[in-house]
Chain A
Amino acid sequence: MQLLWIRGVLARRFLRVAGAAAGVALATALLVTMTLFLLNASASMTARAVSAVPIDWQVQVIPGADAGAIGKALAQTSKVKAVHHAQYADIAGFQARTGGTTQTTGPGQVVAFDNNYASDFPAEIRPLSGSSRGVLIAQQTAANLHVGPGDTVAIDRIGLPPIDVRIAGVVDLPDADSLFQAVGLPPQAAPQAPPDNVLILPQAQWESLFDAQRKARPDTTRLQLHVRLAHNALPADPVAAFTFVTGMEKNFEAKIAGQALVADNLGSRLGAVREDALYASVLFLFLGLPGVALAVALTFAVTSSGAARRRIEQALLRVRGATTRQILSLSATEAAVAAIGGTVLGTGAALLFGLAVPGLGVTAAINGPALVIVILAGLLLGFVAFLLPVWWELRRSDPSAARRSVERDKTPLWRRLWLDLLLLGAAALFFWLSASTGYQIVLAPEGVAATSVDYKAFIAPALFWLGAALLTMRLSANVIASNGSLLRTIVAPAAGPLTTIVAAALSRQTRRLTIGIAMTALAISFATSTSIFNTTYNAQARVDAQLTNGSDVTVFGTSDNPAGARLATLASLSGTAFAEPMQHRFAYVGADLQDLYGIDPTRIGRATSLSDAYFSGGGASTILAGLAATPNGVLVSEETVQDFQLQPGDTINLRLLDARDHQYHAVPFKFIGVAREFPTAPKDSFLVANAAYVARMTGTDAAEYVLMRAKIDPALLAQQARAALGTDPSLKVADIGQAAHLIGSSLTAVDLGGLTTIELSFSVVMAAAAAGLMLALGFIERRRSFGILNAIGAKPGQLTAFLWGEGILVIAGGFIFGLLSGVVTAWMLVKLLAGVFDPPPEALSIPWAYLGIMLCLVAVSVVAAVLFSRPSISHDPEYLRDF
């Protein structure tokens, strides 16, 4: 009997079992791919963070301690790959005489690295001109002293007579912040600016020049051991990697018993990335779980939509003497087919999908326990979704009641309790609570091992989602059940002369249609909110990367070799949409040396994005218009306003380097506004002024940088630019892709690309499936009434009008409620996940094309469902019989 039943089930209820299996497959596939994404995202975050740290540990030997013993302790520490020595000496200043004038700098440092240092720490010194051996001078220092390779510089040692050295090469120190950090300061201390004046000596020369200073003034020299760890031994998860590295560092500190101070650069970078890792899992929950919930709901909707039919079958079975247990075990067979089939299908599809989308790291994750758990969850879902409705029915129905297949219109409890409005109200309340705490969802304080995620923030969107779904059901139920003019207006285009009858017939299927509409609306809402969030995120990530990199592609030059000189070449590249020169100079504000950006305020916006958040006291356009209207105007940072007590309109004298006499001269500027951030500008203080004014006052219109907006992939434009500029080491081409990799403190570094692909594909599939499946599943419920209609003379075309009526209802309700709640959800997500964005987006970015395609696919799926369920010409009198 069991075998016969399976055959019968498969034959007659194929659609329902297949539908349930599809729901299980969707849920499993989504879970699997999301898990792959999460595992892969954290691994790549760790890898990226690690690769961005040039020196893992800087171990500073305290004066008088035994450096040899510390070196030995390091050598004994497992996972230490390389240790190198770096010597530092403070000096009083440098002097150089060129072209009849003498330039003097303020205090600086002279450093030396041991042999082979560069092989383990290649990122510390970048040769710009001259030799890379011998005495090297930092580019900024060379500019200050007007020296180059072959010139002589005098070092003012502390407490010793000056001594001359001959410059062999000019170098850039890209990692100066870390290289010259004050080791041993508490992590909360304000970061120290690296010295402006730096000279690098070969180790032996350093020893001979500074041995005396070291003996006389041990506080002015330092020895550091620079340590490289075995990166491939780190755990993949940033949080685990952080714990691992800091643990190692604590352990080492304990061993050396205070003989040295340790700057754990790797640990602090991983610490900063922890926040990103947590945000990645938050995103996973926010963006992925609704999809999974939707797939689960869809499965339940499918399995419980067969209620009428199943009641009849069960009644028949009972009449034949089947027990509750037997009926349950029969249904279990169905459940097994759906659960196992669905899970296998879903996992297989997800893995195939993962292989197709590079960067999901399928192969790495396949052995993981996470995958097993996800697969078990899929199986469980399949069984529960099938057996729960059967169980409910068995408990409450008796055979005679089961014969009545007309649905009883009992108002559900949630409607009587106004649960939908309560949920929406509660969502608003929780959202307001999150808003009032400034949307601090993820906390990973620097220097503290503990991290926290404010899971309460999930409550608002979850409640909103539920509330919106229920409200959708209430409103559509009202419209459909009332069988009023609104319902008739909606179905009229589909039903034509049969409108009254179709509307009346639909009003008797309120429950099924309402669930169909709600499912479709939820799926559309999911697709809408996800795609809007992703688009906004990507747009913002681009803005963020542009802020760091300057623009899509930026060419960084120097005063001696300004990129602006090659503007015509750069502007004529085929991938360039717009190229704009920007001056990058230095100016003294009092004693403080700041970066000065000279721009054309009317044109800069064409080459890069200027967000309103970069300025205070007005939007970007207002502030830039103000600057354009004030030739000698200047924008300064908040700090400078505080320090100098500036009022708008105040004159502020900046000392700029004049190209004619190589001296700094005071130039009057008018303070007109505050800039918080600016493309390529450092996080602390900087200045923005009109390029034309700066050019006139300094005697040179050289524009050190060129910002370019790309028509094509920025990486390709960067290649074009590099090819066009030739191998000129002082011109550096960078694209936003590289910048995004370097930004460690914001989630922009996490590649949402994989997640986006997953989400968008799934939400389209789900939206289409929800609409189509719910219609197609009404097939069996409709067969009897279609049988009667057919018997009293309805033509197939007229029967189809009933289906079109349903279709149009599902489309209308699904579109309206889905789009509305989707936009609101996206807005909530963007607000709640404000921490992900830096700066926060000014408006939601709407992916019109995607939304258009998605809605089209939903419509197509409805049409397909109608065509599929269309009554055939061959008649079906079976359903005219009594059961």
Chain B
Amino acid sequence: MDETLVVANGIGRDFPDGNAGRITVLRDVDCAISSGARIALVGPSGSGKSTLLHILGGLDRPTSGRIEWPSLGSFEELRPRQIGFVFQSPSLFPALTAGQNVGLPMILAGERDAADRTSALLLDAFGLAELADKLPEELSGGQAQRIAMARALAIGPKLILADEPTGQLDSTTAQFFFDTVLNRLENTGIALVVATHDDAIAARMATRWTMDHGWLRSGPYRSKAT
């Protein structure tokens, strides 16, 4: 039942460099994501990880190459229904409670009535039920990222794209965050792509993609030693 969610063929992305020239951030990237995939996207800062994630999620468009989402419907329907995003920096809405934040994608999708129930269920599943009425400023970094993950899952997407979600957490908290997430995703068929610097976290994923100056080398997980 493995469906192919995203297929990218030879995509490139460049930006104006502010000096009449252009800088190339992605070069001829080929990749595909199937349901249930666990992918770690690693590479030094500035190598193009975020740019790739944005393109995979339909937030940005490549300047060359083709990208398709064969089983996710039309481009307009990608978010919030099919793809959820988690960011490195705090991305919760400061004025909304944790519970409301989790329900936000459902409201945006027009499922207002189900929003509260779904949000309660998800918070429960993440062991965050008691935080439902707290404002983001009252949460710790780890709690806020788990809420953000719950929000990404709220509407039941097929793909989660997380851009350094633990970048601002200490390693214990980061590990705990991933325990929860991987637990939650087990047997759901939801694919997960995580951009990260943290080897320990990358090691927990089945696949590792390495970005280097805009080139992508993909493959199954190989330890650094080899």
Contacts and interface: CB of A to CB of B under 8 A. Distances in A.
Contacts of B96: 501, 504
Given A791-B79, A791-B85, A792-B84, A504 B93 contact: yes
B96 to A, nearest CB: 5
Main secondary structure of the interface of A (DSSP, over half): helix
B5 interface: no
A703 B104 CA distance: 83
B54 A798 contact: no
Given A791-B57, A877-B59, A508 B108 contact: no
Given A508-B95, A792-B151, A881-B50, A501 B107 contact: yes
Contacts of A785: 93
B107 A497 contact: yes
Nearest to B54: A877
Contacts of A881: 50
Interface string B189-202: 00000000000000
B25 to A, nearest CB: 12
A820 interface: no
B95 A792 contact: no
B88 A882 contact: yes
B60 A791 contact: no
Nearest to A502: B95
B95 A504 contact: yes
Contacts of B91: 788, 791
Contacts of B152: 792
Contacts of A648: none
Given A406-B94, A785-B93, A791 B59 contact: yes
Contact of B80 (A497, A500, A792): A792
B119 interface: no
B110 interface: yes
Contacts of A789: 108
A508 B94 contact: yes
A497 B50 contact: no
A795 B77 CA distance: 10
B112 interface: yes
A8 B19 CA distance: 10
B121 interface: no
Contact of A875 (B59, B76, B105): B59
A494 to B, nearest CB: 16
Nearest to A785: B93
A505 B92 CA distance: 11
A500 B116 CA distance: 13
Contacts of B95: 483, 504-505, 507-508
B50 A504 contact: no
Nearest to A505: B95
B87 interface: yes
B110 A793 contact: no
Nearest to B157: A793
Contacts of A877: 50-51, 54, 59-60
Contacts of A795: 76, 108
A744 to B, nearest CB: 64
A788 B109 CA distance: 15
Contacts of B110: 497
Interface string B52-66: 001001011100000
Interface residues of B, number: 33
Q: How large is the interface on A (under 10, 10 to 19, 20 to 34, 35 or more residues)?
A: 20 to 34
B100 interface: yes
Contacts of B100: 500-501, 504
Nearest to B167: A882
Contact of B109 (A793, A880, A882): A793
B146 interface: no
Contacts of B81: 793
B56 to A, nearest CB: 12
B21 interface: no
Contacts of A798: 108
Interface in B36-57: 50-51, 54, 57
A792 B108 contact: yes
Contacts of B93: 501, 504-505, 508, 785, 788
A302 B25 CA distance: 35
Given A504-B100, A798-B108, A792 B94 contact: no
A792 B79 contact: yes
A408 to B, nearest CB: 11
A504 B96 CA distance: 6
A515 B96 CA distance: 23
Contacts of A4: 18
Nearest to A497: B112
B59 to A, nearest CB: 5
Contacts of B173: none
A179 B54 CA distance: 94
Contacts of B87: 788, 791, 880
Contacts of B61: 874-875
Nearest to A883: B89
B107 A498 contact: yes
Contacts of A874: 61
A875 B60 contact: yes
Contacts of B18: 4, 8
A508 B96 CA distance: 10
Interface centre among B79, B110, B152 (most CB of A within 10 A): B79
A790 interface: yes
A69 interface: no
Interface in A175-195: none
A793 B57 CA distance: 11
Contacts of B107: 497-498, 500-501
CB-CB nearest 5 A-B residue pairs: A793-B80, A504-B95, A793-B79, A508-B95, A791-B85
Given A792-B108, A795-B108, A877-B54, 16 more contacts: A406-B94, A498-B107, A500-B100, A500-B107, A507-B95, A508-B94, A788-B87, A788-B91, A791-B59, A792-B104, A792-B105, A793-B109, A875-B61, A880-B59, A881-B50, A882-B88
5 contacts: A785-B93, A789-B108, A792-B80, A792-B84, A874-B61
Interface of B: 18, 50-51, 54, 57, 59-61, 76, 79-81, 84-85, 87-89, 91, 93-96, 100, 104-105, 107-110, 112, 151-152, 155
